[in-house]
Structure 1
Amino acid sequence: MSIQPAFLQGLRPTLHISHRGGAALAPENTLEAFRRAVEVFQTDMLELDVHVTQDGEVVVAHDDTLERCTDGTGALARYTLAEIQKLDAGYGFTPDEGRTFPFRGQGIRIPTLREVLRAFPSLRLNVELKPDVPGHEDLFARLLEAEGAVERVCIGSELDAVGERLVARLPRACHFYPRDALASFVITLRNGESPPEDPRFTVLDMPLYFGELRLVDAPFLRECAARGKWVNVWTVDDPGEMRQLLEEGVGGIMTDRPDLLRQRMDATTKPG
Protein backbone atom coordinates (compact mmCIF):
# COMPACT_ATOMS: atom_id res chain seq x y z
CA MET A 1 0.00 0.00 0.00
CA SER A 2 1.33 3.47 -0.87
CA ILE A 3 2.07 6.08 1.78
CA GLN A 4 -0.72 8.61 2.14
CA PRO A 5 0.18 12.15 1.06
CA ALA A 6 0.08 14.87 3.70
CA PHE A 7 -3.18 16.17 2.20
CA LEU A 8 -5.09 13.09 3.39
CA GLN A 9 -3.56 12.74 6.82
CA GLY A 10 -6.12 13.38 9.54
CA LEU A 11 -9.11 13.47 7.19
CA ARG A 12 -12.20 11.48 8.13
CA PRO A 13 -15.33 10.81 6.05
CA THR A 14 -17.54 12.41 5.06
CA LEU A 15 -16.23 15.69 3.69
CA HIS A 16 -18.51 18.51 2.60
CA ILE A 17 -17.04 19.58 -0.76
CA SER A 18 -18.43 22.55 -2.67
CA HIS A 19 -18.21 21.87 -6.41
CA ARG A 20 -16.93 25.03 -8.11
CA GLY A 21 -17.86 26.70 -4.83
CA GLY A 22 -21.51 25.66 -5.11
CA ALA A 23 -22.37 26.38 -8.72
CA ALA A 24 -26.15 26.29 -8.21
CA LEU A 25 -26.11 29.06 -5.61
CA ALA A 26 -23.57 31.62 -6.87
CA PRO A 27 -21.38 32.29 -9.92
CA GLU A 28 -19.13 29.24 -10.16
CA ASN A 29 -15.40 29.36 -9.43
CA THR A 30 -15.57 32.90 -7.99
CA LEU A 31 -14.59 34.28 -4.61
CA GLU A 32 -18.27 35.06 -4.05
CA ALA A 33 -19.18 31.39 -4.36
CA PHE A 34 -16.18 30.23 -2.35
CA ARG A 35 -16.86 32.62 0.54
CA ARG A 36 -20.50 31.55 0.75
CA ALA A 37 -19.48 27.90 0.80
CA VAL A 38 -16.97 28.48 3.59
CA GLU A 39 -18.75 31.08 5.72
CA VAL A 40 -22.38 30.00 5.34
CA PHE A 41 -22.18 26.25 4.73
CA GLN A 42 -18.92 25.42 6.56
CA THR A 43 -17.54 23.48 3.61
CA ASP A 44 -14.54 21.25 4.30
CA MET A 45 -13.07 21.60 0.83
CA LEU A 46 -13.47 23.63 -2.32
CA GLU A 47 -13.41 21.97 -5.74
CA LEU A 48 -12.22 24.23 -8.54
CA ASP A 49 -10.62 24.33 -11.98
CA VAL A 50 -7.74 26.37 -13.34
CA HIS A 51 -6.53 27.69 -16.68
CA VAL A 52 -3.54 29.78 -17.70
CA THR A 53 -3.85 33.23 -19.26
CA GLN A 54 -1.87 34.52 -22.21
CA ASP A 55 0.65 36.11 -19.83
CA GLY A 56 1.10 32.98 -17.72
CA GLU A 57 -1.19 33.65 -14.76
CA VAL A 58 -3.14 30.78 -13.24
CA VAL A 59 -6.82 31.71 -12.99
CA VAL A 60 -9.85 29.87 -11.65
CA ALA A 61 -12.34 28.89 -14.37
CA HIS A 62 -13.83 25.68 -15.73
CA ASP A 63 -14.38 26.42 -19.42
CA ASP A 64 -11.67 27.18 -21.94
CA THR A 65 -14.00 29.80 -23.43
CA LEU A 66 -15.64 32.77 -21.79
CA GLU A 67 -19.20 32.88 -23.11
CA ARG A 68 -21.04 30.66 -20.61
CA CYS A 69 -20.03 32.41 -17.40
CA THR A 70 -18.91 35.94 -18.35
CA ASP A 71 -19.70 38.81 -20.69
CA GLY A 72 -16.55 37.99 -22.66
CA THR A 73 -16.11 35.92 -25.78
CA GLY A 74 -13.50 33.58 -27.17
CA ALA A 75 -10.73 31.50 -25.68
CA LEU A 76 -9.63 32.37 -22.16
CA ALA A 77 -6.01 31.60 -23.04
CA ARG A 78 -5.93 34.47 -25.56
CA TYR A 79 -6.48 37.06 -22.85
CA THR A 80 -4.04 38.58 -20.37
CA LEU A 81 -4.87 38.61 -16.68
CA ALA A 82 -5.65 42.32 -16.83
CA GLU A 83 -8.09 41.73 -19.66
CA ILE A 84 -9.66 38.73 -17.93
CA GLN A 85 -10.25 40.66 -14.74
CA LYS A 86 -12.23 43.36 -16.54
CA LEU A 87 -14.91 40.79 -17.34
CA ASP A 88 -18.11 40.27 -15.36
CA ALA A 89 -17.87 36.74 -13.93
CA GLY A 90 -21.38 37.04 -12.47
CA TYR A 91 -22.89 37.75 -15.87
CA GLY A 92 -24.00 34.24 -16.80
CA PHE A 93 -25.34 33.01 -13.47
CA THR A 94 -29.09 32.50 -13.29
CA PRO A 95 -30.99 30.64 -10.55
CA ASP A 96 -34.20 30.41 -12.57
CA GLU A 97 -33.31 29.26 -16.09
CA GLY A 98 -32.66 32.72 -17.47
CA ARG A 99 -35.45 34.76 -15.95
CA THR A 100 -33.12 36.71 -13.68
CA PHE A 101 -29.38 37.34 -13.42
CA PRO A 102 -28.89 38.60 -9.86
CA PHE A 103 -25.09 38.79 -9.90
CA ARG A 104 -24.65 40.86 -13.05
CA GLY A 105 -22.89 44.16 -12.51
CA GLN A 106 -21.87 43.30 -8.96
CA GLY A 107 -18.13 43.50 -9.55
CA ILE A 108 -17.57 39.74 -9.52
CA ARG A 109 -14.55 38.69 -11.55
CA ILE A 110 -12.51 35.63 -12.40
CA PRO A 111 -10.04 35.17 -9.52
CA THR A 112 -6.46 34.01 -9.68
CA LEU A 113 -5.56 30.82 -7.90
CA ARG A 114 -3.18 32.87 -5.77
CA GLU A 115 -6.11 34.97 -4.54
CA VAL A 116 -8.09 31.88 -3.58
CA LEU A 117 -5.15 30.31 -1.74
CA ARG A 118 -4.61 33.49 0.24
CA ALA A 119 -8.32 34.07 0.92
CA PHE A 120 -8.62 30.62 2.55
CA PRO A 121 -5.14 29.94 3.95
CA SER A 122 -6.04 26.80 5.92
CA LEU A 123 -8.64 25.22 3.66
CA ARG A 124 -8.04 22.15 1.53
CA LEU A 125 -8.66 22.46 -2.20
CA ASN A 126 -9.31 19.94 -4.97
CA VAL A 127 -7.88 21.53 -8.12
CA GLU A 128 -8.09 20.38 -11.72
CA LEU A 129 -5.65 21.75 -14.30
CA LYS A 130 -7.79 21.90 -17.42
CA PRO A 131 -5.81 22.44 -20.63
CA ASP A 132 -3.38 19.94 -22.13
CA VAL A 133 -0.53 22.39 -22.67
CA PRO A 134 2.93 21.11 -21.73
CA GLY A 135 4.56 23.61 -19.41
CA HIS A 136 1.35 24.73 -17.72
CA GLU A 137 1.93 22.13 -15.02
CA ASP A 138 5.18 23.89 -14.14
CA LEU A 139 3.49 27.30 -13.82
CA PHE A 140 0.84 25.67 -11.64
CA ALA A 141 3.41 23.84 -9.50
CA ARG A 142 5.60 26.89 -9.01
CA LEU A 143 2.60 28.86 -7.77
CA LEU A 144 1.64 26.16 -5.26
CA GLU A 145 5.24 25.97 -4.05
CA ALA A 146 5.57 29.75 -3.74
CA GLU A 147 2.36 29.92 -1.70
CA GLY A 148 3.34 26.97 0.52
CA ALA A 149 0.15 25.21 -0.55
CA VAL A 150 1.36 21.87 -1.93
CA GLU A 151 0.24 19.89 1.12
CA ARG A 152 -3.28 21.29 1.20
CA VAL A 153 -4.25 20.65 -2.41
CA CYS A 154 -5.26 17.50 -4.22
CA ILE A 155 -4.44 18.06 -7.87
CA GLY A 156 -4.92 16.39 -11.20
CA SER A 157 -6.61 16.44 -14.57
CA GLU A 158 -9.26 14.53 -16.44
CA LEU A 159 -6.59 13.95 -19.08
CA ASP A 160 -4.10 11.20 -18.31
CA ALA A 161 -1.18 12.95 -20.00
CA VAL A 162 -1.68 16.07 -17.89
CA GLY A 163 -2.17 14.03 -14.72
CA GLU A 164 1.06 12.18 -15.35
CA ARG A 165 3.00 15.40 -15.94
CA LEU A 166 1.65 16.77 -12.67
CA VAL A 167 2.83 13.66 -10.83
CA ALA A 168 6.28 14.02 -12.35
CA ARG A 169 6.46 17.70 -11.36
CA LEU A 170 4.96 17.36 -7.85
CA PRO A 171 5.50 13.74 -6.82
CA ARG A 172 4.80 14.32 -3.11
CA ALA A 173 1.47 16.08 -3.67
CA CYS A 174 -1.91 14.38 -3.47
CA HIS A 175 -3.07 13.38 -6.96
CA PHE A 176 -6.50 12.23 -8.10
CA TYR A 177 -6.86 9.65 -10.84
CA PRO A 178 -7.17 10.91 -14.42
CA ARG A 179 -9.95 9.55 -16.61
CA ASP A 180 -8.49 6.43 -18.19
CA ALA A 181 -6.62 5.28 -15.08
CA LEU A 182 -9.78 5.89 -13.04
CA ALA A 183 -11.94 3.89 -15.42
CA SER A 184 -9.50 0.99 -15.33
CA PHE A 185 -9.41 0.99 -11.52
CA VAL A 186 -13.19 1.21 -11.09
CA ILE A 187 -14.10 -1.35 -13.76
CA THR A 188 -11.56 -3.86 -12.51
CA LEU A 189 -12.63 -3.48 -8.89
CA ARG A 190 -16.34 -3.71 -9.66
CA ASN A 191 -15.68 -6.88 -11.66
CA GLY A 192 -14.33 -8.46 -8.49
CA GLU A 193 -10.74 -8.36 -9.64
CA SER A 194 -7.72 -6.63 -8.12
CA PRO A 195 -6.87 -3.40 -9.95
CA PRO A 196 -3.26 -2.63 -10.80
CA GLU A 197 -1.49 -0.84 -7.96
CA ASP A 198 -0.60 2.72 -8.91
CA PRO A 199 0.89 4.64 -5.98
CA ARG A 200 0.94 7.87 -7.97
CA PHE A 201 -2.78 8.40 -7.45
CA THR A 202 -4.54 8.14 -4.08
CA VAL A 203 -7.90 9.87 -4.64
CA LEU A 204 -10.79 8.77 -6.83
CA ASP A 205 -12.84 11.81 -7.85
CA MET A 206 -15.61 9.93 -9.61
CA PRO A 207 -19.24 10.10 -10.72
CA LEU A 208 -21.87 8.36 -8.63
CA TYR A 209 -23.49 6.80 -11.70
CA PHE A 210 -22.42 5.46 -15.07
CA GLY A 211 -25.69 5.50 -16.96
CA GLU A 212 -28.13 3.66 -14.71
CA LEU A 213 -25.39 1.83 -12.81
CA ARG A 214 -24.58 3.20 -9.37
CA LEU A 215 -20.82 2.92 -9.14
CA VAL A 216 -20.32 3.67 -5.45
CA ASP A 217 -21.63 1.51 -2.62
CA ALA A 218 -20.38 0.31 0.75
CA PRO A 219 -18.49 -2.76 -0.58
CA PHE A 220 -16.77 -0.63 -3.23
CA LEU A 221 -15.72 1.89 -0.58
CA ARG A 222 -14.34 -0.86 1.64
CA GLU A 223 -12.27 -2.25 -1.22
CA CYS A 224 -10.91 1.21 -2.03
CA ALA A 225 -10.03 1.85 1.61
CA ALA A 226 -8.23 -1.48 1.82
CA ARG A 227 -6.01 -0.24 -1.00
CA GLY A 228 -5.34 3.11 0.61
CA LYS A 229 -7.60 5.04 -1.78
CA TRP A 230 -9.94 7.89 -0.87
CA VAL A 231 -13.23 8.35 -2.78
CA ASN A 232 -14.96 11.66 -3.52
CA VAL A 233 -18.20 11.48 -5.52
CA TRP A 234 -19.47 14.16 -7.93
CA THR A 235 -21.80 15.93 -8.52
CA VAL A 236 -24.49 15.01 -5.98
CA ASP A 237 -27.37 17.44 -5.50
CA ASP A 238 -30.14 15.05 -4.46
CA PRO A 239 -30.71 14.87 -0.67
CA GLY A 240 -31.66 11.19 -0.84
CA GLU A 241 -28.41 10.29 -2.56
CA MET A 242 -26.53 12.46 -0.07
CA ARG A 243 -28.08 10.58 2.82
CA GLN A 244 -27.23 7.18 1.35
CA LEU A 245 -23.63 8.20 0.67
CA LEU A 246 -23.27 9.48 4.23
CA GLU A 247 -24.57 6.16 5.54
CA GLU A 248 -22.13 4.29 3.31
CA GLY A 249 -19.22 6.39 4.55
CA VAL A 250 -18.02 7.93 1.31
CA GLY A 251 -14.88 10.03 1.65
CA GLY A 252 -16.38 13.22 0.28
CA ILE A 253 -19.48 14.50 -1.49
CA MET A 254 -19.01 17.12 -4.19
CA THR A 255 -22.14 19.18 -4.68
CA ASP A 256 -23.46 22.25 -6.45
CA ARG A 257 -25.90 22.58 -3.52
CA PRO A 258 -23.75 23.04 -0.42
CA ASP A 259 -26.86 24.26 1.40
CA LEU A 260 -28.65 20.92 0.97
CA LEU A 261 -25.56 18.92 1.83
CA ARG A 262 -25.03 20.94 5.01
CA GLN A 263 -28.66 20.36 6.01
CA ARG A 264 -28.35 16.64 5.40
CA MET A 265 -25.03 16.35 7.23
CA ASP A 266 -26.34 18.31 10.21
CA ALA A 267 -29.46 16.16 10.34
CA THR A 268 -27.38 12.98 10.19
CA THR A 269 -25.20 13.99 13.15
CA LYS A 270 -28.06 15.00 15.44
CA PRO A 271 -29.24 12.50 18.06
CA GLY A 272 -32.21 10.43 16.97
Structure 2
Amino acid sequence: MAAFERAAELKYDFIELDIQLSKDGELVVIHDATVNRTTNGTGSIKDMTLADIQALDAGSWFSSSFKGEKIPLLQEVLDRFGGEIGLLIEIKYPDLYPEISETLSTVLTAYVEKGLPRKLLKVQSFNIHEVEKFHQLSPNISTGLLLNHPLDLFQLTSYRHFASFLSINYYSLTNNFIKQAEFYGYDIYSWTIKDQFQFYSMQKIGVHGIISDEPMKHENSHLYAFIRPFIKGQELLRTFFV
Protein backbone atom coordinates (compact mmCIF):
# COMPACT_ATOMS: atom_id res chain seq x y z
CA MET A 1 0.00 0.00 0.00
CA ALA A 2 2.97 2.31 0.57
CA ALA A 3 3.93 1.94 -3.09
CA PHE A 4 0.36 2.65 -4.17
CA GLU A 5 0.23 5.73 -1.94
CA ARG A 6 3.41 6.94 -3.62
CA ALA A 7 1.85 6.33 -7.03
CA ALA A 8 -1.12 8.47 -6.10
CA GLU A 9 1.17 11.16 -4.71
CA LEU A 10 3.12 11.24 -7.98
CA LYS A 11 -0.13 11.52 -9.93
CA TYR A 12 0.21 8.26 -11.84
CA ASP A 13 -2.94 7.24 -13.65
CA PHE A 14 -2.89 3.49 -12.98
CA ILE A 15 -1.42 0.99 -10.52
CA GLU A 16 -0.48 -2.43 -11.90
CA LEU A 17 -0.95 -5.23 -9.37
CA ASP A 18 -1.24 -9.01 -9.10
CA ILE A 19 -3.95 -10.96 -7.31
CA GLN A 20 -4.16 -14.43 -5.80
CA LEU A 21 -6.64 -16.29 -3.60
CA SER A 22 -6.12 -17.15 0.04
CA LYS A 23 -7.19 -20.49 1.48
CA ASP A 24 -10.44 -18.91 2.65
CA GLY A 25 -11.19 -17.40 -0.76
CA GLU A 26 -10.04 -13.80 -0.30
CA LEU A 27 -8.32 -11.85 -3.10
CA VAL A 28 -4.92 -10.67 -1.90
CA VAL A 29 -2.47 -8.42 -3.72
CA ILE A 30 0.89 -10.15 -4.10
CA HIS A 31 3.14 -11.10 -7.01
CA ASP A 32 4.61 -14.43 -5.86
CA ALA A 33 2.70 -17.66 -5.25
CA THR A 34 4.45 -17.90 -1.87
CA VAL A 35 5.20 -15.39 0.87
CA ASN A 36 8.81 -16.58 1.17
CA ARG A 37 10.59 -13.82 -0.78
CA THR A 38 8.78 -10.72 0.39
CA THR A 39 7.70 -11.40 3.97
CA ASN A 40 9.06 -12.76 7.24
CA GLY A 41 7.04 -15.95 6.76
CA THR A 42 6.96 -19.03 4.54
CA GLY A 43 4.23 -20.88 2.71
CA SER A 44 1.95 -20.79 -0.32
CA ILE A 45 -0.80 -18.21 -0.58
CA LYS A 46 -3.33 -20.90 -1.46
CA ASP A 47 -2.58 -22.73 1.81
CA MET A 48 -2.85 -19.69 4.08
CA THR A 49 -5.90 -17.90 5.44
CA LEU A 50 -6.26 -14.14 5.12
CA ALA A 51 -5.49 -13.79 8.82
CA ASP A 52 -2.27 -15.80 8.35
CA ILE A 53 -1.25 -13.66 5.38
CA GLN A 54 -1.99 -10.30 6.96
CA ALA A 55 -0.12 -11.20 10.14
CA LEU A 56 3.14 -11.12 8.15
CA ASP A 57 5.61 -8.26 7.75
CA ALA A 58 5.74 -7.57 4.01
CA GLY A 59 7.89 -4.44 4.14
CA SER A 60 11.14 -5.18 5.94
CA TRP A 61 12.60 -7.23 3.06
CA PHE A 62 12.53 -4.05 0.97
CA SER A 63 13.62 -1.53 3.58
CA SER A 64 13.44 -1.10 7.32
CA SER A 65 11.44 2.06 6.56
CA PHE A 66 8.55 -0.19 5.55
CA LYS A 67 8.62 -2.52 8.52
CA GLY A 68 5.11 -3.73 9.30
CA GLU A 69 3.72 -3.22 5.80
CA LYS A 70 0.97 -5.78 5.15
CA ILE A 71 -0.16 -7.77 2.12
CA PRO A 72 -3.44 -6.01 1.29
CA LEU A 73 -6.80 -7.32 0.22
CA LEU A 74 -7.86 -6.24 -3.25
CA GLN A 75 -10.89 -4.66 -1.59
CA GLU A 76 -8.58 -2.52 0.55
CA VAL A 77 -6.89 -1.22 -2.58
CA LEU A 78 -10.25 -0.57 -4.21
CA ASP A 79 -11.58 1.21 -1.13
CA ARG A 80 -8.53 3.47 -0.90
CA PHE A 81 -7.79 4.13 -4.57
CA GLY A 82 -10.89 3.22 -6.55
CA GLY A 83 -11.91 6.24 -8.60
CA GLU A 84 -8.70 8.12 -7.75
CA ILE A 85 -6.28 5.99 -9.73
CA GLY A 86 -6.85 3.18 -12.23
CA LEU A 87 -6.11 -0.49 -11.55
CA LEU A 88 -4.47 -2.85 -14.03
CA ILE A 89 -5.07 -6.24 -12.39
CA GLU A 90 -3.14 -9.36 -13.35
CA ILE A 91 -4.74 -12.72 -12.56
CA LYS A 92 -1.86 -14.89 -11.32
CA TYR A 93 -1.63 -18.69 -11.47
CA PRO A 94 -5.28 -19.44 -12.30
CA ASP A 95 -4.40 -23.15 -12.35
CA LEU A 96 -3.86 -22.83 -8.58
CA TYR A 97 -7.10 -20.90 -8.07
CA PRO A 98 -9.95 -22.33 -10.21
CA GLU A 99 -12.45 -19.78 -8.83
CA ILE A 100 -10.31 -16.67 -9.07
CA SER A 101 -12.09 -15.15 -12.09
CA GLU A 102 -15.51 -15.64 -10.53
CA THR A 103 -14.33 -14.04 -7.30
CA LEU A 104 -12.70 -11.12 -9.11
CA SER A 105 -15.76 -10.55 -11.28
CA THR A 106 -18.02 -10.48 -8.22
CA VAL A 107 -15.80 -7.99 -6.41
CA LEU A 108 -15.30 -5.64 -9.37
CA THR A 109 -18.96 -5.76 -10.36
CA ALA A 110 -19.94 -4.67 -6.86
CA TYR A 111 -17.58 -1.68 -7.02
CA VAL A 112 -18.75 -0.70 -10.51
CA GLU A 113 -22.35 -0.81 -9.29
CA LYS A 114 -21.32 1.53 -6.48
CA GLY A 115 -19.97 4.01 -9.00
CA LEU A 116 -16.36 3.01 -9.80
CA PRO A 117 -15.81 3.92 -13.48
CA ARG A 118 -15.18 0.83 -15.62
CA LYS A 119 -12.58 2.77 -17.60
CA LEU A 120 -10.37 2.71 -14.49
CA LEU A 121 -10.26 -1.10 -14.47
CA LYS A 122 -8.26 -3.42 -16.71
CA VAL A 123 -7.70 -7.16 -16.20
CA GLN A 124 -4.93 -9.23 -17.81
CA SER A 125 -3.31 -12.65 -17.57
CA PHE A 126 -0.84 -14.93 -19.33
CA ASN A 127 -3.57 -17.57 -19.31
CA ILE A 128 -5.67 -17.13 -22.48
CA HIS A 129 -8.55 -19.26 -21.24
CA GLU A 130 -8.73 -17.31 -17.99
CA VAL A 131 -8.92 -14.00 -19.83
CA GLU A 132 -11.75 -15.36 -21.96
CA LYS A 133 -13.47 -16.71 -18.85
CA PHE A 134 -13.25 -13.39 -17.05
CA HIS A 135 -14.52 -11.53 -20.13
CA GLN A 136 -17.57 -13.80 -20.23
CA LEU A 137 -18.25 -12.99 -16.59
CA SER A 138 -17.59 -9.23 -16.89
CA PRO A 139 -17.82 -8.24 -20.57
CA ASN A 140 -17.85 -4.52 -19.78
CA ILE A 141 -14.40 -4.54 -18.13
CA SER A 142 -11.39 -4.26 -20.45
CA THR A 143 -9.34 -7.47 -20.68
CA GLY A 144 -5.98 -8.27 -22.24
CA LEU A 145 -3.40 -10.98 -22.78
CA LEU A 146 0.15 -11.03 -21.43
CA LEU A 147 2.43 -12.57 -24.06
CA ASN A 148 6.08 -13.37 -24.67
CA HIS A 149 5.63 -13.25 -28.44
CA PRO A 150 3.23 -11.56 -30.89
CA LEU A 151 0.20 -13.44 -32.16
CA ASP A 152 -0.26 -14.69 -35.71
CA LEU A 153 -3.18 -13.52 -37.85
CA PHE A 154 -5.34 -16.49 -36.90
CA GLN A 155 -4.81 -15.76 -33.20
CA LEU A 156 -5.43 -12.04 -33.65
CA THR A 157 -8.74 -12.89 -35.24
CA SER A 158 -9.65 -15.56 -32.68
CA TYR A 159 -8.90 -13.57 -29.51
CA ARG A 160 -10.34 -10.18 -30.41
CA HIS A 161 -13.82 -11.08 -29.17
CA PHE A 162 -12.53 -11.19 -25.57
CA ALA A 163 -9.26 -9.20 -25.51
CA SER A 164 -8.94 -5.49 -26.24
CA PHE A 165 -5.22 -5.14 -25.50
CA LEU A 166 -2.05 -7.24 -25.69
CA SER A 167 0.91 -6.80 -23.31
CA ILE A 168 3.95 -8.21 -25.14
CA ASN A 169 7.66 -8.61 -24.43
CA TYR A 170 9.26 -5.62 -26.13
CA TYR A 171 12.00 -7.76 -27.74
CA SER A 172 9.37 -9.23 -30.04
CA LEU A 173 7.57 -6.08 -31.11
CA THR A 174 7.71 -4.47 -34.55
CA ASN A 175 5.85 -1.62 -36.16
CA ASN A 176 4.39 -4.05 -38.69
CA PHE A 177 2.86 -6.24 -35.99
CA ILE A 178 1.47 -3.23 -34.17
CA LYS A 179 -0.27 -2.07 -37.36
CA GLN A 180 -1.72 -5.57 -37.83
CA ALA A 181 -2.95 -5.62 -34.24
CA GLU A 182 -4.49 -2.17 -34.59
CA PHE A 183 -6.38 -3.38 -37.66
CA TYR A 184 -8.01 -6.02 -35.45
CA GLY A 185 -8.82 -3.47 -32.76
CA TYR A 186 -6.09 -4.14 -30.17
CA ASP A 187 -3.96 -1.74 -28.17
CA ILE A 188 -0.37 -2.94 -27.72
CA TYR A 189 1.62 -2.53 -24.49
CA SER A 190 5.32 -3.44 -24.28
CA TRP A 191 7.16 -4.90 -21.30
CA THR A 192 9.64 -4.59 -19.63
CA ILE A 193 11.55 -1.41 -20.52
CA LYS A 194 14.60 -0.58 -18.40
CA ASP A 195 16.36 2.28 -20.20
CA GLN A 196 15.27 5.65 -21.54
CA PHE A 197 16.42 4.85 -25.09
CA GLN A 198 14.19 1.75 -25.07
CA PHE A 199 11.28 3.93 -23.99
CA TYR A 200 11.81 6.18 -27.01
CA SER A 201 12.26 3.14 -29.24
CA MET A 202 8.89 1.76 -28.20
CA GLN A 203 7.26 5.13 -28.81
CA LYS A 204 8.84 5.24 -32.24
CA ILE A 205 7.39 1.90 -33.35
CA GLY A 206 3.96 2.99 -32.18
CA VAL A 207 3.08 1.02 -29.04
CA HIS A 208 0.08 2.21 -27.10
CA GLY A 209 1.63 1.51 -23.71
CA ILE A 210 5.02 0.90 -22.09
CA ILE A 211 5.67 -1.20 -18.98
CA SER A 212 8.92 -0.32 -17.25
CA ASP A 213 10.98 -0.89 -14.11
CA GLU A 214 12.14 2.71 -14.20
CA PRO A 215 10.52 6.17 -14.10
CA MET A 216 10.66 7.20 -17.75
CA LYS A 217 10.73 10.80 -18.89
CA HIS A 218 8.16 11.80 -21.44
CA GLU A 219 6.78 15.01 -22.87
CA ASN A 220 3.64 13.65 -24.49
CA SER A 221 0.66 14.89 -22.49
CA HIS A 222 -1.40 11.94 -23.76
CA LEU A 223 0.67 9.40 -21.84
CA TYR A 224 -0.98 7.69 -18.89
CA ALA A 225 1.30 6.52 -16.10
CA PHE A 226 1.08 3.23 -14.24
CA ILE A 227 3.09 1.88 -11.31
CA ARG A 228 3.66 -1.56 -9.84
CA PRO A 229 5.23 -2.18 -6.41
CA PHE A 230 7.90 -4.69 -7.37
CA ILE A 231 8.91 -7.56 -9.66
CA LYS A 232 12.61 -8.23 -9.24
CA GLY A 233 12.97 -6.98 -5.70
CA GLN A 234 14.01 -3.43 -5.02
CA GLU A 235 12.75 -1.84 -8.23
CA LEU A 236 9.39 -0.27 -8.91
CA LEU A 237 7.59 -1.04 -12.11
CA ARG A 238 6.12 1.94 -13.87
CA THR A 239 3.90 1.73 -16.92
CA PHE A 240 3.06 4.41 -19.43
CA PHE A 241 0.07 4.13 -21.73
CA VAL A 242 -0.19 6.36 -24.79
The TM-score range, normalised by the shorter chain, is 0.7 to 0.9
Kindly indicate whether the alpha-carbon contact (under 8 Å) linking 1:47 and 1:254 is maintained by their aligned counterparts in 2: no
Structure 2 residues not aligned, in runs of 5+: 222-242
Q: Structure 2: which amino acid aligns with 1:160? A: I
Partner of 2:175: 218
Partner of 2:206: 249
User: Shift of the alpha carbon at 1:187?
Assistant: 4.3
Higher relative contact order (CA 8 A, sep 6+): 1
How has the CA–CA distance of structure 1 residues 252 and 195 changed in structure 2, closer, same or farther, with 3 Å as cutoff? closer
Q: Structure 2: which amino acid aligns with 1:250? A: V
Partner of 2:89: 127
How has the CA–CA distance of structure 1 residues 54 and 153 changed in structure 2, closer, same or farther, with 3 Å as cutoff? same
Kindly indicate whether the alpha-carbon contact (under 8 Å) linking 1:50 and 1:128 is maintained by their aligned counterparts in 2: yes
Q: What percent identity do the matched residue pairs reach?
A: 30
Partner of 1:154: 122
CA offsets per residue over residues 123-148 of structure 1, 9 Å max, x none?
A: 22211111322222111111111111
Decide which of 64, 71, 88 is 1:110's aligned counterpart.
71
Residue 38 (structure 1) aligned with residue 8 (structure 2): yes
- Runs of 4 or more, structure 1, over 6 Å off, are none
Whole-angstrom distance in 2 between the partners of 1:173 and 1:125: 11
Partner of 2:30: 61
Q: Normalising by the residue count of structure 1, what TM-score does the alignment of the two structures yield?
A: 0.71
Write 1 or 2 for the structure with the bigger share of strand.
2
Kindly indicate whether the alpha-carbon contact (under 8 Å) linking 2:19 and 2:92 is maintained by their aligned counterparts in 1: yes
How has the CA–CA distance of structure 1 residues 70 and 194 changed in structure 2, closer, same or farther, with 3 Å as cutoff? closer
User: Shift of the alpha carbon at 1:194?
Assistant: 8.4
Whole-angstrom distance in 2 between the partners of 1:187 and 1:162: 17
Partner of 2:230: none
Whole-angstrom distance in 1 between the partners of 2:36 and 2:66: 14
Kindly indicate whether the alpha-carbon contact (under 8 Å) linking 2:131 and 2:162 is maintained by their aligned counterparts in 1: no
Partner of 2:140: 172
Structure 1 residues not aligned, in runs of 5+: 1-30, 94-100, 210-214
Bigger mean CA offset, 240-249 vs 56-65: 240-249
How has the CA–CA distance of structure 1 residues 77 and 150 changed in structure 2, closer, same or farther, with 3 Å as cutoff? farther
User: Shift of the alpha carbon at 1:205?
Assistant: 1.1
1:1-272 to structure 2, matched below 5 A, reads 31-40=1-10, 42-93=11-62, 101-105=63-67, 107-122=68-83, 123-131=85-93, 132=95, 133-148=97-112, 149=116, 151=118, 152-177=120-145, 179=147, 183=149, 186-188=150-152, 195-198=156-159, 199-209=161-171, 215-257=172-214, 259=215, 261=216, 264-266=217-219
Kindly indicate whether the alpha-carbon contact (under 8 Å) linking 1:224 and 1:230 is maintained by their aligned counterparts in 2: yes
Whole-angstrom distance in 2 between the partners of 1:242 and 1:140: 32
Whole-angstrom distance in 2 between the partners of 1:160 and 1:146: 25
Rg bigger for which structure? 1
User: Shift of the alpha carbon at 1:160?
Assistant: 2.5
Whole-angstrom distance in 2 between the partners of 1:187 and 1:160: 12
